[in-house]
Structure 1
Amino acid sequence: MIRYSLICDAGHSFDSWFRDSAGFEKQAAEGQIACPFCDSTKIARDVMAPNIAKPRDDAAQDLRMKLRELHDTVVAHTEDVGDRFPEEARAMEDGETERRAIRGRATFEEAKALLEEGIEILPIPGLPSDSN
């Protein structure tokens, strides 16, 4: 697979993935690639910077280790309530259930609503993969 930066005849830039260079050429020649902004099918490759893997440095590796330790500590000391997170947070705030450390999932809209209701929450980002 190869990712190309593309540009349409109206100057809109976007990215797309192709099986290989020949796949891009064939699809572009047949008008099968459309600009997501204006639907133009006059598409060309845009200027791209090469993607060069950088060697890992010790500071980045140390930071990854500390993030993993922090993540593991949060997981070890909280209850996973999954998709019930918004309901559980509200129940604790309303005194319907005992206050405890919970974690789970909420959509952006659900998290925003909780904050607007004055319920303090803290997003926990996922861990970076080892390939990043």
Structure 2
Amino acid sequence: MIRYTLKCDHDHSFESWFQSADAFDKLQSAGMVACTACGSTKVSKSLMAPSVRTETATEKPALTAPATPQEEALTKLRKHVEANSEYVGMKFADEARKMHDGDTPERPIYGEAKPQDAIKLIEDGVPVLPLPFAPRKQTN
């Protein structure tokens, strides 16, 4: 996994995790990387500084760091999506296509899709966006 600091064409900065640099490039070229503030898909990588430990052997790190405004916004977004949408798991691409084609009633859903299935949805004009977080695995 790799974390990138990203910036949209409206100068919003945000971070997101990707499986690899190649995965980021593929998702970005498919228009699937969107700004968490405004939804723009005109996103580029920002300069990033490496994370460096500065504590000495006698200093003890804090148990938890305070949440950044971005982390708080992502937590709020996750709670909203989970409370107001149906989790459909790996059936996301099929369910989104059925709603787009009028074969099933429209409703808010979220889930997971293979990258090639998500790209096909976008190419076919199905209105979908990637979430800036991975869905929690649900067992029921």
Q: TM-score, normalised by structure 1?
A: 0.51
Answer with 1 or 2: which has the greater Rg.
1
RMSD, aligned α-carbons? 2.7
Partner deviation per Cα, 1:83-105 (whole Å, 9 max, x = no partner): 00111011101111000110010
- Please, which runs of 5 or more residues in structure 2 have no aligned partner? 1-49, 56-61, 135-140
1:78 aligns with 2:97: no
Corresponding position of 2:76: 69
| 1:52 aligned partner, one-letter code | R
Corresponding position of 1:106: 113
Corresponding position of 2:122: 115
Give the SS at the match of 1:84.
helix
1:94 aligns with 2:95: no
CA distance in 1, matches of 2:68, 2:97: 38
Aligned pairs, how many? 78
1:125 aligns with 2:132: yes
Give the SS at the match of 2:71.
helix
CA distance in 1, matches of 2:112, 2:130: 9
CA distance in 2, matches of 1:72, 1:126: 11
Corresponding position of 2:53: 52
Q: Say which structure, 1 or 2, has more relative contact order (CA 8 Å, 6+ apart).
A: 2
- What fraction of aligned residue pairs are identical, expressed as a percent? 35
| 2:74 aligned partner, one-letter code | L
CA distance in 2, matches of 1:108, 1:116: 12
Give the SS at the match of 1:122.
coil
CA distance in 2, matches of 1:97, 1:53: 55
| 1:65 aligned partner, one-letter code | E
CA distance in 2, matches of 1:86, 1:108: 10
CA distance in 1, matches of 2:93, 2:83: 20
Change (3 A) 1:85 1:64: same
